Amino acid sequence: MSDFLLKLERITKVFSGGEASLDVLKGVDFTLGYGESVAILGASGVGKSTLLHIMGGLDRPSQGSVLYKDKDLQKMNANEVSYWRNHTLGFVFQFHHLLPELTVLENVALPLMIRGVSKKKAIEQSIPLLESLGLGHHFEAQPATLSGGEQQRTAVARALVTQPEILLADEPTGNLDRKTGDQLMDLIYQCRKLCPFALVIVTHNEAIAALCPRKMTLFDGQLCET
């Protein structure tokens, strides 16, 4: 078995527009160990979200390799990457991205149904997680009726219902007040005790980053230990 869970090697990302181009990532190297917790700091617009999307197979680098254990994501087709993402990763973004036409319970069960689990079984598996996150009384609610903190907790439940090996969190508290954001991070760390996933959290918040044993900073296209 590989001694790492996820590895990025010499990752570059160039955005081209007409005659101009923007080098966002310039040869980034990164290794994530099993069960590790890492915060990536950086100013707005520096490329943190781009880096996280490349880690999660949502975007492809201009150059470089993304390795999951002994698999090279660059050698997978789109369907294979989607399968890998659904079976390996959980995502939490700054905005919850819940589907407004589905109930809270249906939103959380959706990743399991995409995996091929029956709706009945997916819902059965989602209920205990929602209850553990304090959302047991909101099963049939529409996302729009929830508070911002409740919506983001629902998004966390959706990310964790598949019991991912890796949780990628992109400014998950950025749209919340400080107290609600702190509560959300506490919940994420409580969940890690039950399911010891590796965590990569992108943030500009030093207090949030301080919760992680390992901190890195993205600056001028380079990632370095802090």
CA 17 to centroid of chain Cα atoms? 28
For 126-160, what is each residue's pLDDT tens digit?
998 888 888 888 889 989 898 888 888 888 889 88
- Summarize pLDDT for 13-37 with one digit per residue, the tens: 888 766 677 778 888 999 999 989 8
Whether 207 is in a domain gets the answer yes
Q: What residue numbers bound the domain in which 34 lies?
A: 6-225
In a domain, 161, yes or no: yes
Say how far apart CA 159 and CA 92 lie, in whole Å. 6
Residue 81 belongs to domain with CATH number: 3.40.50.300
Q: For the chain, how many structural domains are there in total?
A: 1
SS3 label, residue 28: strand
Q: Is residue 40 part of a domain?
A: yes
Q: What local confidence, expressed as pLDDT, does residue 216 receive? A: 92
- 3-state class (DSSP) for residue 36: coil
**Model pLDDT, residue 1:** 59
In a domain, 28, yes or no: yes
Return d(Cα 35, Cα 45) in angstroms, integer.
Answer: 28
> What count of residues does the chain have?
226
1 part of a folded domain: no
Please tell me whether residue 220 adopts helix, strand or coil conformation.
Answer: coil
Question: CA–CA distance from 187 to each of 51, 87, 172, 181 (Å)?
Answer: 25, 22, 12, 10
Contact by Cβ (8 Å): 102, 158: no
Phi-psi region of 27 (alpha: psi -120 to 50; beta: other; left: phi over 0): left
* Amino acid letter for position 117: V
Q: What's the rounded Cα separation, in Å, for the pair 58 and 81?
A: 9
Please report the pLDDT score of residue 18 as a whole number: 66
User: Above 80 in pLDDT, residue 176?
Assistant: no
* Tokens, residue 154: 């629902």
